[in-house]
Structure 1
Amino acid sequence: MELAFIRLDRDTTWIYFYEGIRNIQDLVYVEDRFFAISDFNQLVSFTPQYNPEDDLKVAAQYFEEEEEAVIKRYLVELSDHKELLMVHRYLDNRHNIHGKRFTTKIELYTLDADKHKWTKINSLGGAALFLGENSSISLLASEVLGCLPDCICFIHDFNRVPCKRPRDFGLYNIKTEKFLQIDDTQAATLIKMSNRTPIWAVANIKL
């Protein structure tokens, strides 16, 4: 997967990053810069300039992982204090051909910008994360009715809805490192009816 951008008020074609950035898994915008994470945990940052390579910076380097692990990576900004997090979602991908993918473990890392490295953490400081492809968000749990602090909600964001039933929903407590039981029957039924992968949305309406 390659990365490109277009400025609607001035560009007529897409501008590609030709060197130094490939196999992008996620992208997030934090404090006037874009951050992108690759398959190898290399985090790069940039601003949308005409010559993007001139502004491309390595914000964090590769680090070792479990051998032969299948990992999906997400970037999430903790909205209350502008902290950038990376989430590793470990997958059992043995039945991937049928869309039957299962999350087995989740790890959480925070960016140390000064040292250009990731540091593993086991607390969200009372926040909650909602993971999804191109739609990951963070919320302060105390501000949302029924939301659990230090928990990560994840959805079935596989590139297609499986023929029988979306399976990879869940709720993970980052402090206890355990999955919590949830009833995903209704959500799975709605996704199957629409035949679309789900996304998270935050309502700004205050009653």
Structure 2
Amino acid sequence: MSRFLPKWCPDVPTLLPALSSSCRFLSKKKSPIMIVLTGASCPAFAFSRLGLHGDSDWRKSDCRIVDPHCSRGRWMRFSNGIWFQDRFYALSVEGTLAVVEEDVNSDLLRITKFGKQRAVPDSDLAATRRFRECLVESEGKVVLVFLGSARSMETVDHVEVFRLELKELAWVRARSLGGAALFLGSNTCVSVEGKKLLECKGNCVYFAASGNGGGWGVYDVESGVISSCERDFGGRTDLFQGNTTTLLCKLQRRAD
């Protein structure tokens, strides 16, 4: 991947990189775009087109827009985001949704829309900020999952799932994920068909827990119950060690 990208400036922080599409789709007409959120306002993000006809340098974009949900009136700073249907949906540290699109006239990425609704958990976790947010595409929808730690920072004991209504740019609580199973790691979030992985259930969120030796937990969306993956898989602790990719490879081998 690095051979397609310009050299990064060491003075600019990096928080989250996101690629618009797979590198196998590299072409003259539509090259994938790598966007990097910095966690700052200036620049708020940098981007570069990949491929032979890509950019020779990173293009940086500032955001001097006051975050409507910031009580201190600070400029927006983005902490998370996801590409979906040629647009990048970015979440600010205060839970404001911004839509980033390509300007066909200037060939730049610009913020074009904002969601009015704040993306935060419905529970008291919003005030304590003892939660982390995960964005993932699942069954043609953008899904936002909050993993909260109400009692201990070492254990996830509260999960909330929302889907994005694109027309209204509003977050709606998801009562079902259908047959999908979400796997949320520390750096990677993936949606798969639950029935394709042996013993995995659809309509569930599997997440990497910070405690318990780095194991995994599972949240059943229908019942609202959180349990240990090791317990559900007959005490197989060896299965649930490692990152998201490692876990999915192990489960796929069991299914085969």
Letter in 2 for 1:121: A
**Residue 146 of structure 2 aligns with which residue?**
88
* Cα separation, 1, equivalents of 2:79 and 2:157: 19
TM-score, normalised by the number of residues in structure 2: 0.61
Q: Which has the higher contact order (CA 8 A, sep 6+)?
A: 1
**Residue 118 of structure 2 aligns with which residue?**
62
CA 1:29 to 1:133, structure 2 compared with 1: closer, same or farther past 3 Å? farther
* Cα separation, 2, equivalents of 1:16 and 1:71: 29
- Unaligned runs of 5+ residues in structure 1 are 96-100, 192-197
**Residue 170 of structure 1 aligns with which residue?**
217
SS at match of 1:89: strand
**Residue 118 of structure 1 aligns with which residue?**
171
From 121, 125, 130, the counterpart of 2:183:
130
Q: Quick one: percent identity of the two aligned structures?
A: 22
CA 1:93 to 1:12, structure 2 compared with 1: closer, same or farther past 3 Å? farther
* Cα separation, 2, equivalents of 1:127 and 1:59: 26
**Residue 39 of structure 1 aligns with which residue?**
93
* Cα separation, 1, equivalents of 2:135 and 2:116: 13
CA 1:60 to 1:133, structure 2 compared with 1: closer, same or farther past 3 Å? farther
* Cα separation, 2, equivalents of 1:5 and 1:149: 35
**Residue 6 of structure 1 aligns with which residue?**
48
Q: Are 1:102 and 2:160 matched, yes or no?
A: no
Deviations 1:66-105 (A, max 9, x none): 2224121111111x3x11111111125866xxxxx32111
**Residue 194 of structure 1 aligns with which residue?**
none
**Residue 185 of structure 1 aligns with which residue?**
237
Q: Report if the CA contact (8 A) 1:102-1:167 is conserved.
A: no
* Cα separation, 1, equivalents of 2:116 and 2:158: 23
- Unaligned runs of 5+ residues in structure 2 are 1-38, 66-74, 231-235
CA 1:39 to 1:139, structure 2 compared with 1: closer, same or farther past 3 Å? same
State the Cα distance separating 1:177 from its structure 2 match: 1.1
**Residue 74 of structure 1 aligns with which residue?**
134
Residue range with higher mean Cα deviation, 30-39 or 12-21: 12-21
Q: Cα RMSD between the aligned structures?
A: 3.1
Letter in 2 for 1:199: T
TM-score, normalised by the number of residues in structure 1: 0.73
CA 1:18 to 1:45, structure 2 compared with 1: closer, same or farther past 3 Å? same
* Cα separation, 2, equivalents of 1:200 and 1:94: 27
